[in-house]
């Protein structure tokens, strides 16, 4: 088994990249892998005058030889969170503590160095029916030349008593002069939770326990937890697995969402919070990670995908990308996500619209990649439809609908292009009070749409894989006319 990307013949990697490059679905302004699988964002941090972002990377996931397998972190840097420069492979699965995966983790700038904490995955007793995971929490430093040096010894060995081998994804932060991290965990009774660990020097860590009051029976495993404070409140963001769908919520195979509450009490880990808020109303969103920008903004990245879903790009030997970075804030107890303002740097030629839309579909634009910033006034209509990435006949499209009678907004990708994940449904909806004006900001890339409604109170993210002739944007109004004021920028 190949452990380090350096041991893979360069020709193998370049062949995989050449196959990926034949894909019609390569993204224009989203981070995606040159080949293989991208999943969680890791080590998202501002350090040394720039943003750093790594992702979980299995470069040869679709290579024909199953013996060639390698799983590590891939590293990028950016000055503006929009334009990324690839640094290359970062941490590799090349020690006995991480030989079956350098799993997710996070980074913190400490005394002019970047400290990394991540999970090393190992399997033991693999030749018996007692085989199981043994996780290690591992440390590394990154220097100013982007070199990572792993610690010799694990920071924490195995799961604490009472938990299974599913104990991973440390997210670190500093509080006063102390360091804390939250980890996703599974209790022995197969319920998911989050565990807090603590250190005074980054080298010696102890387990403090679960945040209290401990949530019971909320899924069987929580992945990628993140605790932070924004707008004077505490937020615990995580990806729980095993939450049943109901009332249009939790329709995806796995969820991502948060609890918002009072700030955590560090003496007893008490975190009083409200109900679980599913973060994205769309289809492909998982494993979030946030960071504090130098100007104080809390910025989120996430995997624009979910495990166990077969994406059509796999045919071209790659899968996965990251969502556009989102700025987080809290409004009336709800976590709100806005696309970061830096994304305006992508805007090219602008077209403006200001008219009443009627029952006859109007072609607004024929751009493959674009940003749409629109306000609609539905005070004299009952339904407004926007067909994104539509063909000329508008029978293939990604359909966004505002329905005043139902007081719903919905997104359908049933006719968006190559079907996939249909087992989990092709339409998502959210309740929305529709009286008059609604604002929306939409980013359309070669194989995705991200829709931010009313300043990020509702967000839909969807991967789509349209045909080559699906470049049109139509709008239609029913039950009266809808006033539309919009700017569209080519990207
Ligand atoms: C979430 C996850 C994490 C794990 C990583 C491995 O997608 O399963 O819990 O660290 O992916 O790639």
Segment 54-58 shows an average pLDDT of: 97
Query: Which pair of tokens denotes residue 125?
Result: 């007793």
Segment 114-120 shows an average pLDDT of: 98
Quote the pLDDT of residue 4.
Answer: 83
Residue 375 above 90 pLDDT? yes
pLDDT tens string 361-372: 999 999 999 999
Residue 412 above 90 pLDDT? yes
| 136 Ramachandran zone, left/alpha/beta (phi>0; psi -120 to 50) | beta
What is the arrangement of strands in the sheet containing 350-357, beginning at the earlier edge strand? 350-357, 482-490, 370-377, 437-445, 448-453, 458-463
This prediction's pTM: 0.97
pLDDT tens string 457-482: 999 999 999 999 999 999 999 999 99
Preceding omega of 213 cis (within 30 degrees of 0): yes
Residue 454 above 90 pLDDT? yes
- Residues of the chain above pLDDT 70, percent: 100
Q: 224 CB under 6 A from ligand 1?
A: yes
How far is 322 from 491, CA to CA, in rounded Å? 18
Cα of 238 vs centre of ligand 1, distance in Å, is: 12
User: Exposure of 443 by Cβ count < 10 A (0-12 exposed, 13-18 middle, 19+ buried)?
Assistant: buried
Domain boundaries, the chain: 5-341, 347-490
Cα of 437 vs centre of ligand 1, distance in Å, is: 40
| 480 Ramachandran zone, left/alpha/beta (phi>0; psi -120 to 50) | left
Segment 51-79 shows an average pLDDT of: 91
Segment 437-445 shows an average pLDDT of: 98
Q: pLDDT grade, residue 68 (50/70/90)?
A: confident
Q: 212 CB under 6 A from ligand 1?
A: no
Higher per-residue confidence, 195 vs 4: 195
Higher per-residue confidence, 209 vs 126: 209
Q: pLDDT grade, residue 395 (50/70/90)?
A: very high
Quote the pLDDT of residue 74.
Answer: 98
Cα of 27 vs centre of ligand 1, distance in Å, is: 23
pLDDT tens string 250-266: 999 999 999 999 999 99
Q: 98 CB under 6 A from ligand 1?
A: no
Residue 1 above 80 pLDDT? no
Residue 67 above 80 pLDDT? no
Cα of 287 vs centre of ligand 1, distance in Å, is: 8
pLDDT mean across residues, the chain: 96
Quote the pLDDT of residue 428.
Answer: 98
Tell the CATH superfamily of the 5-341 domain.
Glycosyl hydrolase domain; family 43 (2.115.10.20)
- Asked, colleague to colleague, whether 5-341 and 347-490 share their fold, the answer is no
Total number of residues shown for the chain = 491
Q: pLDDT grade, residue 2 (50/70/90)?
A: confident
pLDDT tens string 312-371: 999 999 999 999 999 999 999 999 999 999 999 999 999 999 999 999 999 999 999 999
Terminal Cα-to-Cα distance of the chain (whole angstroms): 42
Write the CATH number of the domain with boundaries 347-490. 2.60.120.560
How far is 326 from 172, CA to CA, in rounded Å? 20
In this structure, the residue with its CA closest to atom 6 of ligand 1 is 103
Cα 331 to Cα 136, 225, 341, 365, 371, distances in angstroms: 38, 22, 18, 33, 25
Quote the pLDDT of residue 6.
Answer: 85
ipTM score above 0.85: yes
Residue 413 above 80 pLDDT? yes
Q: pLDDT grade, residue 65 (50/70/90)?
A: confident
Q: Which residues are catalytic?
A: 40
Q: 42 CB under 6 A from ligand 1?
A: no
Q: DSSP secondary structure string, 79-132?
A: SSSSSEEEEEE-S-S-STTSTT-EEEEEEEEETTEEEEEEEEEEEESTTSTT-E
Q: DSSP secondary structure string, 342-390?
A: GGGGG--SEEEEEEEE-SS-EEEE--SSEEEEEEEE-TT-SEEEEEEEE
Q: 168 CB under 6 A from ligand 1?
A: yes
């Amino acid at each position: 088994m190949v452990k380090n990307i350096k041991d893979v013949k360069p020709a193998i990697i370049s062949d995989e990249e050449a196959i990926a490059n034949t894909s019609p679905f390569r993204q224009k302004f989203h981070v995606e892998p040159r080949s293989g699988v991208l999943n969680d964002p890791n080590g998202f941090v501002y350090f040394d005058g720039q943003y750093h972002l790594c992702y979980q990377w299995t470069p040869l996931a679709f290579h024909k030889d199953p013996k060639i397998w390698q799983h590590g972190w891939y590293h990028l840097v950016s000055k503006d969170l929009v334009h990324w420069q690839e640094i290359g492979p970062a941490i590799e699965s090349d020690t006995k503590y991480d030989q079956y995966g350098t799993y997710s983790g996070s980074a913190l700038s400490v005394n002019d160095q970047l400290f990394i904490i991540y999970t090393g995955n190992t399997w033991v007793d693999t030749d018996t029916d007692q085989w199981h995971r043994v996780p290690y929490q591992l440390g590394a430093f990154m220097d100013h030349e982007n070199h990572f040096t792993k610690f010799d010894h694990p920071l924490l060995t195995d799961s604490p008593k009472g938990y299974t081998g599913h104990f991973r994804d440390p997210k670190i932060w500093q509080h006063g002069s102390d360091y804390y991290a939250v980890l996703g965990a599974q209790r022995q009774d197969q319920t998911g939770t989050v565990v807090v660990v603590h250190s005074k020097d980054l080298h010696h860590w102890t387990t403090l326990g679960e945040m209290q009051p401990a949530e019971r029976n909320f899924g069987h495993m929580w992945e990628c937890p993140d605790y932070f404070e924004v707008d004077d409140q505490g937020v615990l963001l995580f990806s729980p697995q095993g939450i049943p769908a109901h009332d249009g919520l939790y329709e995806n195979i796995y969820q991502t969402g948060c609890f918002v509450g009072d700030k955590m009490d560090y003496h007893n880990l008490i975190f009083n919070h409200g109900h679980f808020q599913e973060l994205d109303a769309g289809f492909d969103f998982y494993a979030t990670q946030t960071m504090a920008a130098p100007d104080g903004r809390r910025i989120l990245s996430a995997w624009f995908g979910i495990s166990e879903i077969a994406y059509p790009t796999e045919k071209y030997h790659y899968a996965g990308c990251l969502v556009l970075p989102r700025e987080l804030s809290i409004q009336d107890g709800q976590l709100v996500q806005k696309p970061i303002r830096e994304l305006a740097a992508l805007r090219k030629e602008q077209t403006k619209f200001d008219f009443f839309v009627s029952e006859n579909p109007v072609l607004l634009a024929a751009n493959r990649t674009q940003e749409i910033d629109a306000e609609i006034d539905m005070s004299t209509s009952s339904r407004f439809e926007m067909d994104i990435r539509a063909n000329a006949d508008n029978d293939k499209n990604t359909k966004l609908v505002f329905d005043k009678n139902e007081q719903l907004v919905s997104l359908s990708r049933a006719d968006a292009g190559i079907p996939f994940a249909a087992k989990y449904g092709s339409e998502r909806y959210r309740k929305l009070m529709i009286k008059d004006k609604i604002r929306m900001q939409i980013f359309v890339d070669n194989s995705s749409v991200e829709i931010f409604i009313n300043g990020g109170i509702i967000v839909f993210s969807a991967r789509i894989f349209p045909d080559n002739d699906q470049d049109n944007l139509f709008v239609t109004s029913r039950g009266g006319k809808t006033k539309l004021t919009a700017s569209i920028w080519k990207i």
